[in-house]
Structure 1
């Protein structure tokens, strides 16, 4: 598929849909060749025994988490809300367990496409996911992932691990990442920090694609670039902090972990700072 898309399509993410035994049998190769995975549990439940679907879900999510690829959980997440304003207890548990299993995204289909309560569906799913995320033991998850990583690592990867470690130790309210390609932010997301990851980029495509990754809050910075790279980075960071304050998850005096590059362009992320939010950002 990448060969067919060619040079013009190299920035398009390829997300295979796993819905049959052939996909399960070749899951490692599919994950390696793709940019993420969607598991369609409804169709998969026809191909394999229903009692094994939850095992397939956990296995696929774990494999994606290990290599930092986003995984999407789909099919009948809140099916009863197609016609009713509240989910069943089983559906609420299903969404929560998908989050606990490591899903980056939970997906609605008929509930929002043709249902009577699309807005309530989205809000309900968001509320359940938010509650489930608070029950994840991120520190243990981070430790286990770090143990599985073998050196040497490139600078961006090493800085990503250090940023998550620093955020855990200083109880940071957020990690702010100034990125061009989005790779640094995605690496940080891979290690599941306990706080939001505010990603600031000038590229709309990067901002949109980063929304697939768990914990990333993507912001597109559209101000005219300045001649001074360091000043431009600081302006982007202030822009992100102001956004966090407006949303209520950054308060004055909160610790913040800042990740950026030493020069313009992708592939130069090597700077980590810890600062405290003041009352002047965005003014």
Structure 2
């Protein structure tokens, strides 16, 4: 696992803190980096089941969705957290209720068809027999605008307490619908000081977000689409079953099988063409490093970086070999104390496909001398050998800055 996602749609901060402490223990034991992502609740429509009773719904029967949250959830009546549903749907619309996943043979999620709008209530025909269990279920109606804030008061409270305390690397912004949603979230994070470096990933989960995709892409640090992209997001599939470990190892095998048949050459050419000319300085260096690595059949690309940007650009060209991103810490001050940056940048690059970050020793002088670079390179090569991705007589492509120049060099390892 590269990034641990803490989904605040479920559980309280104490529950998530316990999970995080387990993660910290695992990081220490395995000596492997793992980043932390806080996933917001956002503008999520929910069925509220205060009494946590099991609700059985029969196909062809009827059920009423009501904004009256004082009511208990029953087989005939489901209270929801959104007052505007009746104004937003019409007869014939479909509504999905469950825990995210629907396979077609599902018995824990239900499809409804709107048969009548009665005041603020929505009367629905049940399309499949199902049993809903738990304290809340999500409700999806794809084409409608939900008049709920993207960053809810609950989200803000969790971010400013749990998020700040644990210095989260990523904020996953659920139900992002406009670029303005991302701007507002970034403004909120920057006021919290400790989270000014936290990256925002916009989750595109409805038609509204899809319509404004291009502008959201400009504003966000990353995009989450259910499911695929640089990483595979594990959610309800692993949460709900009895075999989480087997499920995750199966997903891992699917990933490696997909990697085997991925046409890297074609992708590289397409990406170069898409970027076009003239390329920026960094883009040119990144694509050259990948081209050289392909041509000489290098086992690994080693990239020296301080912000992580150079390594991310190399990964953008999807090289077939792993990219060791050596993050060089930078000394910075807030006028009161000196500190090293680098840990954030190293952890944040874990979310990018093919990047394996390591943090260089901050005791090395900050200026780039050839002796310093050689000693850091030796550490990186030893790290690669220990990981089992570099062996004797392998070729390695190194991408680094020497003074003002950026250099791509090929080295061949001896015994």
Separation of aligned partners in 2, 1:123 and 1:152: 43
Paired with 1:188 and 1:18, the residues of 2 have a C-alpha distance of: 26
From 382, 393, 399, the counterpart of 1:259: 399
Aligned length: 215
**Match status 1:134 vs 2:134:** no
Corresponding position of 1:212: 351
1:169 aligns with 2:295: yes
Q: Which residue does 1:116 correspond to in 2?
A: 242
CA contact (8 A) 1:156 1:269 kept: no
Deviation at 1:261, TM superposition (A): 1.1
Rounded to whole Å, the distance in 2 between the matches of 1:237 and 1:195 is: 18
CA RMSD for the aligned pairs?
A: 2.0
Q: Which of the two has higher C-alpha Rg?
A: 2
Name the residue aligned to 1:32: 218
Structure 1 pair 116/12, CA: closer, same or farther in 2 (3 Å)? same
Q: Taking structure 1 as reference, are residues 230 and 145 closer, same or farther at Cα in structure 2, changes over 3 Å only?
A: same
Q: Which sits farther off after the overlay, 233-242 or 155-164? A: 233-242
TM-score (ref. length: structure 2): 0.49
Report if aligned partners of 2:303, 2:399 keep a CA contact under 8 Å in 1. Answer: yes
Task: Measure the CA separation in 2 of the matches of 1:12 and 1:113.
Answer: 26
> CA 1:210/1:182 → structure 2, altered by over 3 Å: closer, same or farther?
same
Q: Distance in 2 between matches of 1:111 and 1:239?
A: 39
Whole-angstrom distance in 1 between the partners of 2:214 and 2:405: 29
Q: Which has the higher strand share?
A: 2
Structure 1 position 224 matched with structure 2 position 363: yes
Residue 272 in 1 paired to residue 412 in 2? no
Q: Distance in 2 between matches of 1:119 and 1:240?
A: 31
Residues of 2 paired with 1:105 and 1:147: CA distance? 24
**Offset of residue 193 of structure 1:** 0.8
Cα 1:112–1:234 change in 2 (3 A) is farther
Indicate how the Cα distance of structure 1 residues 12 and 143 shifts in structure 2: closer, same or farther if over 3 A, else same: same
Provide the residue aligned with 1:89 in structure 2: none
| Offset, 1:3 | 2.7
Change (3 A) 1:276 1:151: same
The 3 A distance-change label for structure 1 pair 230 and 117 is farther
CA distance in 1, matches of 2:263, 2:359: 30
Range moving further from structure 2, 148-157 or 183-192:
148-157
- Conserved 8 A contact 2:368-2:402: no
Return the structure number with greater relative CO, CA threshold 8 A, min gap 6. 1
Quote the offset at 1:151 in angstroms.
2.6
**Aligned-residue offset at 1:224:** 1.8
1:235 and 2:371 aligned:
no
> Which runs of 5 or more residues in structure 2 are unaligned?
1-183, 330-341
Distance 1:119 1:277, change over 3 A: farther
**217-226 or 253-262, larger mean C-alpha shift:** 217-226
Superimposed CA distance per residue, residues 16-54 of structure 1 (whole angstroms, 9 cap, x where no aligned partner): 1111110010111111110111113xxxxxxxxxxxxxx
228 and 270 in structure 1: CA distance in 2 versus 1, 3 angstrom threshold = closer
5+ long unaligned stretches in structure 1: 41-72, 74-97
- Greater percentage in helix: 1
Between 168-177 and 245-254, report the one with greater CA deviation.
Answer: 245-254
Alpha-carbon distance, 1:182 to partner:
0.3
- Alpha-carbon contact 2:346-2:359 (below 8 Å) kept: yes
From 179, 185, 192, give the equivalent of 2:305.
179
Instruction: Kindly indicate whether residue 195 of structure 2 is the aligned counterpart of residue 3 of structure 1.
Output: no
- Give the TM-score taking structure 1 as reference length: 0.70
Query: Is 2:171 the counterpart of 1:19?
Result: no
**Bigger CA drift: 126-135 or 115-124?**
115-124
